[in-house]
Amino acid sequence: MERASSIFDRLPIPRRGSGFRRLIHKLSYLSEEQQQIIVDAYELGLVAHEGQRRHSGEPYITHPIAVASILAELHLDHQTIAAAILHDVIEDTPVDKEQIAQQFGNEIAELVDGVSKLDQLNFTSRAEVQVASFRKMMLAMVEDIRVILVKLADRIHNMQTLESLSPDKRRRIAIETLEIYAPIANRLGMNTLKTELEDYGFLYAYPFRYRVLDKALRRAQGNQRQIVKRISDRLRRALRADKITGSVMGRKKHLYSIYRKMRVKTRPLSEVADVFGFRLIVDNVDQCYRALGTVHQLYKPMPGRFKDYIAIPRVNGYQSLHTTLVGPNGIPIEVQIRTHDMDRVAEKGIASHWQYKDQDTEKQPPQDRAREWLASINEMESAANSEEFMEHVKVDLFPDKVYVFTPKGDILRLPRGATCVDFAYAVHTDVGNKCVAAKIERRRMPLRTPLKNGQTIEIVTGKGAHPKPSWLSFVVTAKARYSIRQHLKNLRSGEATNLGKKLLDQAMRELGSSLRKISRNRLKVLLDDLDLSNVTELYEQLGLGERLAPIVARVLVKAPRDDLAGSDSMEPITIAGTEGVVVSYGRCCHPIPGDSIMGYLSAGRGIVIHRDICGNLSEFRKQPSKWIAVNWEQNIEQDFSVEINVEAINKPGALAEVAAMIGDAGSNIEQVSLDEQHGESIDLIFTTLVRDRTHLSNVIRGIRRMSGVSRVTRTCA
Q: Point out the domain boundary residue: 621, 655, 683.
A: 621
Q: In terms of domains, do 404 and 342 share one?
A: no
Residue 425 binned pLDDT confidence (cut-offs 50, 70, 90): very high
Q: Which tens digit of pLDDT belongs to each residue from 220-234?
A: 665 667 788 888 999
Evaluate if residue 133 carries a pLDDT over 60.
no
Residue 63 one-letter amino acid: H
Q: Which tens digit of pLDDT belongs to each residue from 653-698?
A: 888 888 889 988 888 888 888 766 666 788 888 889 898 999 999 9
For residue 116, give the 3-state DSSP assignment: coil
Enter the DSSP assignment of 191. Answer: H
Q: In terms of domains, do 710 and 617 share one?
A: no
Residue 580 one-letter amino acid: G
Least confident of 116-125, 130-139, 141-150: 116-125
Residue 288 binned pLDDT confidence (cut-offs 50, 70, 90): very high
Residue 115 one-letter amino acid: V
For residue 583, is it within any domain?
yes
Evaluate if residue 359 carries a pLDDT over 50.
no
CATH code, domain with 27:
1.10.3210.10
| pLDDT, average across residues 529-538 | 81
Q: Which tens digit of pLDDT belongs to each residue from 480-495?
A: 888 887 777 776 677 7
- What percent of the chain is modeled with pLDDT above 70? 78
CATH code, domain with 656:
3.30.70.260
CATH code, domain with 227:
3.30.460.10
Residue 35 one-letter amino acid: Q
For residue 376, is it within any domain?
no
Q: Which sequence positions are flagged as catalytic?
A: 91-92
Q: Which residues pair with 687 in a beta bridge?
A: 643, 671
Residue 135 binned pLDDT confidence (cut-offs 50, 70, 90): low
Counting Cα atoms < 13 Å in the Cβ hemisphere of 571 gives 11
pLDDT of the residue at 582: 63
If 0-12 CB within 10 Å is exposed, 13-18 middle and 19+ buried, where does residue 591 land?
buried
Enter the DSSP assignment of 633. Answer: P
Q: How far is CA 111 from CA 40, 49, 88, 97, in A?
A: 16, 19, 11, 10
Q: In terms of domains, do 542 and 691 share one?
A: no
pLDDT of the residue at 697: 92
Number of compact structural domains in the chain: 5
Q: In terms of domains, do 187 and 51 share one?
A: yes
pLDDT of the residue at 419: 92
Q: In terms of domains, do 116 and 18 share one?
A: yes
Q: In terms of domains, do 146 and 279 share one?
A: no
Q: In terms of domains, do 200 and 276 share one?
A: no
Residue by residue, what is the 3-state secondary structure of 573-586? EEECCCCHHHEEEC
| pLDDT, average across residues 125-139 | 56
Q: Out of 214-228, 247-261, 285-299, 626-640, give the one with best mean pLDDT.
A: 285-299
Cβ atoms 492, 582 nearer than 8 A: yes
Instruction: Tell me how crowded residue 32 is: count the other CB atoms within 10 A of its CB.
Output: 10
Cβ atoms 460, 407 nearer than 8 A: no
For residue 181, is it within any domain?
yes
Evaluate if residue 580 carries a pLDDT over 90.
no
Evaluate if residue 424 carries a pLDDT over 60.
yes
Q: How far apart are CA 530 and CA 538, in angstroms?
A: 9
pLDDT of the residue at 1: 37
Enter the DSSP assignment of 456. Answer: B
For residue 386, is it within any domain?
no
pLDDT of the residue at 357: 39
The DSSP code sequence of 531-597 is T-SSHHHHHHHHHTTSS-HHHHHHHHHT--GGGTTT---PPPEEE-S--GGGEEE-TTT---TTS-E
How far separated are the first and last CA of the chain, in Å rounded?
Answer: 82
Q: In terms of domains, do 546 and 407 share one?
A: no
Evaluate if residue 379 carries a pLDDT over 70.
no
Residue by residue, what is the 3-state secondary structure of 639-650? CEEEEEEEEEEC
Sequence-ordered list of residues with C-beta below 8 angstroms from that of 142, at least 6 positions apart, any chain: 374, 377, 378, 381
Q: Which residues pair with 610 in a beta bridge?
A: 598
pLDDT of the residue at 604: 58
Q: In terms of domains, do 126 and 73 share one?
A: yes
Instruction: Tell me how crowded residue 8 is: count the other CB atoms within 10 A of its CB.
Output: 18
Nearest to 76 by CA among 118, 33, 120, 34: 34
Q: How far apart are CA 628 and CA 601, in angstroms?
A: 7
| pLDDT, average across residues 446-455 | 85
| pLDDT, average across residues 276-282 | 89
Q: In terms of domains, do 154 and 303 share one?
A: no
Q: How far apart are CA 608 and CA 630, in angstroms?
A: 10
Q: Point out the domain boundary residue: 205, 229, 253.
A: 205
For residue 374, is it within any domain?
no
Evaluate if residue 152 carries a pLDDT over 80.
yes
Q: How far apart are CA 512 and CA 34, in angstroms?
A: 77
pLDDT of the residue at 204: 92
For residue 415, is it within any domain?
yes
For residue 552, is it within any domain?
yes
pLDDT of the residue at 368: 58
Q: Which tens digit of pLDDT belongs to each residue from 164-189?
A: 888 888 998 898 888 878 888 887 77
Enter the DSSP assignment of 455. Answer: -
Q: In terms of domains, do 125 and 255 share one?
A: no
- The alpha helices in 281-418, defined as continuous H runs, are 285-298, 340-348, 365-379, 386-395
The DSSP code sequence of 170-189 is HHHHHHHIIIIIHHHHHHTT
pLDDT of the residue at 114: 79
Residue 712 binned pLDDT confidence (cut-offs 50, 70, 90): very high
Phi, psi of 413 (to 5 degrees): -105, 125
pTM given for the model: 0.55
Q: How far is CA 529 from CA 65, 246, 603, in A?
A: 52, 76, 20
Residue 691's domain spans which residues? Answer: 640-714
pLDDT of the residue at 605: 63
Q: Which tens digit of pLDDT belongs to each residue from 546-560?
A: 677 776 787 787 644
CATH code, domain with 408:
3.10.20.30
Q: Which tens digit of pLDDT belongs to each residue from 326-343?
A: 888 777 888 999 998 888
Enter the DSSP assignment of 251. Answer: P
Residue 267 binned pLDDT confidence (cut-offs 50, 70, 90): confident
pLDDT of the residue at 5: 44
Q: Point out the domain boundary residue: 205, 238, 254.
A: 205
Nearest to 213 by CA among 203, 200, 224: 203
Q: How far apart are CA 457 and CA 442, in angstroms?
A: 8
Evaluate if residue 272 carries a pLDDT over 80.
no
**Region of residue 653 (left: phi > 0; alpha: psi -120 to 50; beta: else):** left
pLDDT of the residue at 675: 67
pLDDT of the residue at 50: 87
For residue 292, give the 3-state DSSP assignment: helix
Nearest to 469 by CA among 487, 495, 496, 490: 487
Q: In terms of domains, do 310 and 226 share one?
A: yes
Nearest to 422 by CA among 451, 463, 379: 451
Nearest to 477 by CA among 527, 526, 389, 417: 417
Q: How far apart are CA 537 and CA 540, in angstroms?
A: 5
For residue 388, is it within any domain?
no
Average pLDDT of the chain is: 79
Q: How far apart are CA 467 and CA 485, in angstroms?
A: 9
